[in-house]
C-alpha cells in the first residue's frame, strides 16, 4: 500500500511542483514561473550553474578505513569506477554531478536510476527527469518511486538527493517556493524589453526658435537630421565643431529618472535571487560591495555556508544509496574541498611555515597539499629545541670542575 496524500500542496508534490494546466506557478506579477523560464534569468542561471559547476569539479573519492585511523582510496571497489570514471555509457562524472545539482537547484530534488550487479554493487547510474518521478510513502514508511507512471520502485533502485522540505520524503523547489520574487524579476525584465522595443530613446534634439519660419517639407527635415548624423555621430566624429544656422541649437538628452530606477530595480532583483541560493553577490557579477580586502573571505564563506551543505547532502545520499549496509562501517565517500578553502599564496606559505616549525606537518605533507610529488626524507616532523614536556625535569645548574676550567683556559691561551 502506498500513500500520496502526505504532501502539503500540489506545488510541492513529487512531480517537482508542476501545477495542472499551468506547468508552473503564477506569481503576483502575472508571470508563470517554471524551472525553465526561471533559468532564462541571468541571476538564476548564474547561481544554479555556479553551484553545479563548483560541486562537479571537486575531486570525489571512495575511501577505505584502515587500522589506527588511517585511510586509503578504495580503487579496487566496483563503485570507485562509477564515481571517478564513468557513471553510465555517455556521461562523464563531471556532467553527471553537474546535471544532478542543476536539478536540485531548480526543482529541489535530483533522481537517478541505480542499475545493480548480482552482488548488489552499483553497475551504472542513469539520471532521471525530476518531473517524471513521483515519490510515494509505503506502509513501512520507506519512500518508493514511480517513474513515468510505471510500478513503484524501492529505495535501493533510485538515488535521491533532496533539498530541505516540509516533509522528509521530497524537497521543495527553490524556484517555485520563491515564485513571486522570480516572477517580479521576469516582469521587470519583460517591461525593460518592451520599453526598448516600443519606446523612443533619443541622444538629443535640434531646436529652432519659434520666430523662425517652419520647415514645411518633411524631406528637408530628414536631410538636416541625416547631415547631422553623418558629420557628428559615432566615435570617428568625436570632438568635431558644428555650426548651426537660423538660430538652431542642439540639446543633448540624459537618462531619465525612470530609466535610472529601472536599472536599480534590476540590480535589486539580482541580489534577491542571490539571497535565495545564498550566493555572494560578487560571484554573479554584482561587485558594488566587493573590495580587494573582503573578496577572499567572501569566497571562503561561500564554500563553508553555501557549498558545504550541498556537498554533505550529496555525500550522505551516496553513502546511503551506493554502499551496501555491511560496507558503510568500512567505506565512505568524500569530496575534497581543501583546494577551495586555500587563501592566497603568501597566507598559505606563512601557515605552512608555522605548521612545519611546530611539528604537525612534514615537508611531504605540505607538498601533497600543493599537489607536488614527495621528496626523500620529507616525512620527518620537526620540533623546536626549546620545547619540552612539563614532566621533564630540568637539571640543576652545577659549578664547573677545576679540570674543566683548566681545559678552557688552555684553549684560550
Same domain, residue pair 325 and 355: no
Which segments of 303-358 are extended strands (E)?
A: 331-335
> Looking at the structure, do residues 262 and 218 belong to the same domain, yes or no?
no
Say if residue 410 is in the same domain as residue 262. Answer: no
Residue pLDDT, tens place only, 345-399: 777 888 888 888 888 898 988 888 777 788 888 888 887 877 766 566 666 667 7
The per-residue pLDDT of the chain, averaged, comes to 83
Kindly report, residue by residue over 4-56, the tens digit of the pLDDT: 544 433 333 444 333 333 457 888 888 889 999 999 999 999 999 999 999 99
Q: Is the CB of residue 181 less than 8 Å from the CB of residue 273?
A: yes
Residue 222, C-beta contacts closer than 8 angstroms, at least 6 positions apart: none
Which pLDDT band holds residue 401 (cuts at 50, 70, 90)?
confident
Residues 123 and 101 both lie in one domain: yes
Domain count for the chain: 3
Question: In terms of residue numbers, what domain contains 297?
Answer: 1-199+256-341
Residues 126 and 207 in one domain: no
Same domain, 37 and 133: yes
Q: Are residues 317 and 242 in the same domain?
A: no
Which of 309, 341, 373 is at the close of a domain?
Answer: 341
253 — pLDDT class (breaks 50, 70, 90): low
Residue at which a domain ends, from 252, 267, 286: 252
Q: Do 337 and 350 belong to one domain?
A: no
Q: How far apart are CA 2 and CA 10, in angstroms?
A: 17
Instruction: Please tell me whether residues 188 and 303 are part of one structural domain.
Output: yes
**Got the DSSP string for 171-240?**
PPPHHHHTHHHHHHHHHHHHHHHHHHHHS---SEEEE--TTSPP---HHHHHHHHHHHHHHH-SGGGTT-
Q: Which residues contact 357 (CB under 8 A, 6 or more apart)?
A: 382, 384
Co-location of 131 and 270 in the same domain: yes
192 lies in the same domain as 227:
no
On whether both 142 and 38 belong to a single domain, the answer is: yes
Contact 8, 17 (CB under 8 A): no
pLDDT on residue 36: 92
Q: Which of 291, 313, 341 is the last residue of a domain?
A: 341
Question: β-strand 122-128 against 109-116: which pairing, if any?
Answer: antiparallel
Amino acid at each position: 500500500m502506498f500513500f500520496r496524500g502526505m504532501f502539503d500542496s500540489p506545488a510541492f508534490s513529487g512531480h517537482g511542483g508542476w501545477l495542472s494546466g499551468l506547468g508552473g506557478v503564477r506569481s503576483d506579477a502575472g508571470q508563470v514561473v517554471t524551472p525553465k523560464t526561471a533559468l532564462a534569468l541571468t541571476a538564476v542561471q548564474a547561481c544554479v550553474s555556479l553551484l553545479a559547476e563548483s560541486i562537479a569539479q571537486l575531486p570525489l573519492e571512495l575511501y577505505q578505513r584502515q587500522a589506527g585511523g588511517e585511510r586509503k582510496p578504495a580503487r579496487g571497489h566496483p563503485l570507485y569506477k562509477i564515481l571517478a570514471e564513468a557513471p553510465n555509457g555517455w556521461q562523464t562524472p563531471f556532467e553527471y554531478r553537474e546535471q544532478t545539482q542543476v536539478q536540485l537547484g531548480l526543482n529541489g530534488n535530483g533522481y537517478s536510476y541505480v542499475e545493480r550487479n548480482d552482488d548488489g554493487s552499483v553497475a551504472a547510474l542513469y539520471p532521471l527527469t525530476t518531473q517524471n518521478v513521483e515519490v510515494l510513502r509505503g506502509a513501512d514508511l520507506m519512500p518508493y518511486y514511480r517513474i513515468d507512471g510505471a510500478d513503484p520502485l524501492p529505495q535501493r533502485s533510485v538515488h535521491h538527493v533532496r533539498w530541505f522540505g516540509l516533509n522528509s520524503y521530497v524537497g521543495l523547489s527553490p524556484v517555485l517556493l520563491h515564485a513571486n520574487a522570480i516572477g517580479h524579476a521576469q516582469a521587470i525584465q519583460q517591461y525593460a524589453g518592451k520599453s526598448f522595443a516600443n519606446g523612443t530613446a533619443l541622444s538629443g534634439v535640434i531646436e529652432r526658435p519659434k520666430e523662425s519660419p517652419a520647415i514645411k517639407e518633411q524631406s528637408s527635415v530628414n536631410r538636416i537630421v541625416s547631415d547631422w548624423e553623418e558629420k557628428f555621430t559615432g566615435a570617428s566624429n568625436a570632438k568635431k565643431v558644428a555650426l548651426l544656422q537660423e538660430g538652431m541649437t542642439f540639446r543633448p538628452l540624459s537618462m531619465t529618472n525612470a530609466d535610472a530606477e529601472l536599472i536599480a530595480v534590476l540590480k535589486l532583483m539580482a541580489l534577491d535571487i542571490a539571497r535565495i541560493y545564498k550566493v555572494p553577490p560578487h560571484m554573479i557579477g554584482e561587485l558594488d560591495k566587493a573590495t580587494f580586502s573582503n573578496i577572499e573571505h567572501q569566497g571562503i564563506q561561500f564554500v563553508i555556508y553555501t557549498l558545504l551543505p550541498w556537498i554533505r547532502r550529496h555525500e550522505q545520499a551516496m553513502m546511503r544509496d551506493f554502499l551496501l549496509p555491511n560496507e558503510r562501517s568500512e567505506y565512505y565517500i568524500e569530496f575534497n574541498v581543501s583546494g577551495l578553502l586555500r587563501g592566497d599564496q603568501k597566507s598559505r606559505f606563512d601557515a605552512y611555515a608555522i605548521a612545519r616549525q611546530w611539528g604537525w606537518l612534514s615537508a611531504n605533507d605540505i607538498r601533497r597539499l600543493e599537489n607536488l610529488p614527495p621528496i626523500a626524507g620529507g616525512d620527518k616532523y620537526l620540533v623546536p629545541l626549546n620545547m619540552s614536556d612539563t614532566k621533564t625535569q630540568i637539571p640543576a645548574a652545577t659549578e664547573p670542575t677545576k679540570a674543566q676550567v683548566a681545559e678552557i683556559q688552555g684553549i684560550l691561551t
